[in-house]
Structure 1
Amino acid sequence: MAIQISVFIENKEGRIKKAIDTLANAGVNIRALSVGDTTKYGILRLIVSDNEKAIKSLEDDGFIVKESEVIVIAVPDKPNGLNSTLAILDDANINLEYIYAFVSSNPDEAIVAMKVEDTKKAIGVFEKSNAKILSEEDLEKI
């Protein structure tokens, strides 16, 4: 499991860059990101090298920031690799709220971050199926 930060930003020119600049100026490395938007605002979801420093710098720069738990899991990097992992959740009747992927240093796997309705139950079913759940320490090596 990992902690993700969500940054709420106005949907206007330059706001994503401003958030990224804020993190860069604070010396925070971005491990993964995803952007979702509506006509008025966006949500920049990030997994970063230092949550405390990221949150402080973003809030000091006027951004609204929230932390949430996500499951970060390695999936086989082959056709149907992701779907076989998602089937584990589906078979356990666990709702997947959103998902995004990022780069792995291992050519045989892809990495996805997922937000589910019941994190504890999802971790349990992933562990039973021998899925590779990445820890905060694993993410530091990426």
Structure 2
Amino acid sequence: MKVKQISIFLENKSGRLAQVTRVLGDNNINIRALSIADTTDFGILRLIVNNPDTAYQILKEAGFTVSTTDVIAVEVKDDPGGLAKVLEILQNVSINIEYLYAFLQKATNAALVVFRVEQLDEAIKVLQENNVSILEDSKVYSL
């Protein structure tokens, strides 16, 4: 149920994002989803890729500051209020969402949302108890 996310610390200067994507592309790593949060001086690039262990190693060897984090990929009904329903389930059990980002999946008409939460195992449990679909890591990596 947990998906491995790659986080890369990047100086906020021209070409750094291109370097990351080139290193990954040259090593046959496919980006499935991404999010970037930036300030004036730096950014944190968060990626879901088809092979996170290899991506981590390659980026480390290329000199990037990189880490991994467990997240969950949740199918959200692609209707008005679909995301609100999932968020309310987590709110009702006081699970804090640190951040989230969405991406499209090719298999269904549902949206896919990546969640980083404080109590990951509890979030998985409560979402499953409320019939919210959480994708297996292998399925997410192969989207």
Instruction: Give the TM-score, by structure 1 length.
Output: 0.96
Query: Is the counterpart of residue 138 in structure 1 residue 139 in structure 2?
Result: yes
Pairing of 1:38-117 with structure 2 (within 5 A): 38-117=39-118
What is the count of residue pairs matched by the alignment? 142
Superposed CA offset, 1:106-126 (max 9, x none) = 453000101001101111110
AA matched with 1:9: L
The 8 Å contact of residues 12 and 38 in structure 2, kept in 1 or not, is answered as yes
Task: Report Cα offsets for 1:44-89 as digits up to 9, x if no partner.
Answer: 0001111122112111211011001001100000111111111111
Query: 1:128 aligns to what?
Result: 129
Q: What is the rounded CA distance, in whole Å, between the counterparts of 1:74 and 1:66 in structure 2?
A: 25
**Partner SS, residue 133 of structure 1:** coil
Residues in 2 aligned to 1:66 and 1:40: alpha-carbon distance in whole angstroms: 19
In the alignment, is residue 10 of structure 1 matched against residue 11 of structure 2? yes
Structure 2 CA distance for aligned equivalents of residues 24 and 32 of structure 1:
14
Change (3 A) 1:114 1:94: same
How far is 1:139 from its partner? 1.2
Cα-to-partner distance string for 1:8-49 (whole Å, 9 max, x where unaligned): 110111111110111001110111100001111100000111
For residues 141 and 118 of structure 1, what CA distance do their matches in structure 2 show? 26
Q: Deviations over 1:84-106 (max 9, x none)?
A: 11111111110000000011114
C-alpha separation in 1, matches of 2:142 and 2:55: 18
Which 4+ residue blocks in structure 1 deviate beyond 6 angstroms? Answer: none
Structure 1: runs of 5+ lacking an equivalent: none
Distance 1:141 1:5 in 2: 16
TM-score, structure 2 length as denominator? 0.95
Does the aligned pair in 2 maintain the 1:94–1:122 contact within 8 Å?
yes
